[in-house]
Amino acid sequence: MPRKPKRPCSFPGCPELVEGRYCEKHQREVDRHYNRHQRDPKTTKRYGRRWRKIRKAFLTAHPLCEECRKQGRYTPAEEVHHITPLSEGGTHDYENLMALCKSCHSRITAKEGGRWG
């Protein structure tokens, strides 16, 4: 399947051609601004350095999407989902985590209303 052509970075004045929205340099700037000014400080604390280490180790141990495997497909896992959300008393324990691909994680999160609702 052909890929989409690259397009200029969305940051004003940047001519760099990218597949996503921003080039690496400007993506870091946009992320930093979001984390400082728009993200809830409690969320930043919950998903800090400790979470990133746990997430990396979990994805290494569980490289395939658990939902896709139930359907007989083998899709690389890119996200780690909390079965019981942290806001409802969940923890970062492995028993409370599941490895998912982006589409399965988005579908489950939308269904639970965790992000949009």
Span 44-94, pLDDT tens digits: 677 778 898 999 999 999 999 999 999 999 999 999 999 998 888 889 999
Check which CATH number belongs to the domain holding 84 and give it. 1.10.30
Torsions phi, psi of 94, nearest 5? -55, -30
* Domain carrying residue 83: 22-112
Query: Comparing C-alpha atoms, which of 25, 106, 18, 13 is closest to residue 67?
Result: 106
Please say if the pLDDT value at position 29 is more than 70: yes
Q: Are 67 and 104 in contact (CB under 8 A)?
A: yes
Task: Share the mean pLDDT of the chain.
Answer: 87
Q: How many CB atoms lie within 10 A of CB 50?
A: 11
Q: Is 36 a domain residue? A: yes
Q: Is 32 a domain residue? A: yes
Give the residue-averaged pLDDT of 93-116: 86
Q: Are 65 and 99 in contact (CB under 8 A)?
A: yes
Number of domains in the chain: 1
> What is the per-residue pLDDT for 117?
44
Q: Is 57 a domain residue? A: yes
Q: How many CB atoms lie within 10 A of CB 40?
A: 8
User: Which residues neighbour 102 within 8 Å (Cβ) at sequence distance 6 or greater?
Assistant: 78, 79
Two tokens, residue 66: 């658990």
